[in-house]
Structure 1
Amino acid sequence: MTSSTTPGIARFNALAEPAATAALHEACASSAWGSKLLSRRPYATAEDLFAASDAAMAELTSDDLAEAMAGHPPIGRPKPGDPTSSREQRGMAGASGELKAEMLELNLAYQEKFGHVFLICATGRTGEQMRDAVKERIGNSPEQEREIVRAELGKINRIRLTRLLEEEETA
């Protein structure tokens, strides 16, 4: 990114607070994360927005993380009518019935152990890669998993913020 303001970041900075709040909520369901990003407007560059997102993510409490995770459907079961989760979980769309059934079982086992949905930045991953990740991560401690989830949410937020800025540029 250059140091000049891009049209997408300029449009984001100019959004009225309710519209900016709604746009940020689409990126991440944590109200604390959204509030922190709103409070730091205006942003000079997209990279400044990403840095603020990363900083806000690092500051989220366990309850804030739970709120953020509640906005994500289980892998292999995107929310009906939600193009974002369908697009992000595209790697499961063509998966075999066997792989989908295995993911359902793994998702349930993970949720039983950790008390929340298995969260991974699914963009660009195959169904097999996501299955292998949940198999690997189910052996983690809750503390290890919380930090992995925080990092995965950060990646997802960056992708969604990038898309938000690009969509604004074409609007």
Structure 2
Amino acid sequence: MPLTLSDFNTADAGVVRPILTACLDVPRWVDAILDHRPYTSREALEAAADLPLSSDEIRRAMAAHPRIGEQPAGGWARSEQSGVDNPDAFAAANAEYEAKFGHVYLVCATGRSGDELLGMLRERLGNDPATELAVAGRELLKIAELRLAKAVTA
């Protein structure tokens, strides 16, 4: 159940921490958001959430994400990937991507079709590893922002 911004600001950290961790599994990010409470607006909360991530933090957070095209067991990932209607096409592309970069293909899938996501994956195969990790980090923050908006309402 989502929290209002007021409840988010006043709730015990033990209540809020798992909610934030579900948005983005990066302890420093979670701590930074908790430490800056109370927030005067949703915009202030969103600004605090836009925290650059280190390479290690990106890799850690990616480990908590299912592959695009696989059927997630539940939670936010299931609805976020609802546009993926071609899971078989992703199997080979995911394998090629993971062989090149050593991690799952991570993209903010909300509102995108399976064909669009697959095209983006193929395009990103042209990136060098450092560039791709930075792209994945930006996508993680987009996902976290969407999840935070679902978790904390106005």
TM-score by length of 1: 0.84
AA aligned to 2:76 is T
Aligned-pair identity (%): 34
Question: Any residues of structure 2 matched to 1:18-57 within 5 Å, and which?
Answer: 18-54=14-50, 56=51
AA aligned to 1:72 is H
Q: How many residues align?
A: 152
2:70 matched to 1:85? no
Greater per-residue helix proportion = 1
| CA drift at 1:31 | 1.5
1:114-148, Cα deviation, whole Å (9 max, x unpaired): 11110000000000001000000011011211221
| CA drift at 1:79 | 2.5
TM-score by length of 2: 0.93
- Distance, in Å, in 1 between the alignment partners of 2:58 and 2:36 is 20
AA aligned to 2:55 is S
2:87 matched to 1:100? yes
2:58 matched to 1:74? no
- Distance, in Å, in 2 between the alignment partners of 1:34 and 1:83 is 19
**More RCO (CA 8 Å, sep 6+):** 2
Gaps of 5+ in 2: none
2:118 matched to 1:125? no
- Distance, in Å, in 2 between the alignment partners of 1:106 and 1:135 is 7
Gaps of 5+ in 1: 1-6
Partner of 1:3: none
- Distance, in Å, in 1 between the alignment partners of 2:24 and 2:100 is 24
Secondary structure of the residue aligned to 1:42 is: coil
Is residue 94–residue 105 contact of structure 2 (8 Å, CA) maintained in 1? Answer: yes
Partner of 1:9: 5
1:43-80, Cα deviation, whole Å (9 max, x unpaired): 111111111111x2x1x221111111111100011431
Secondary structure of the residue aligned to 1:90 is: coil
Q: CA RMSD in A?
A: 1.4
| CA drift at 1:157 | 1.0
- Distance, in Å, in 2 between the alignment partners of 1:14 and 1:40 is 12
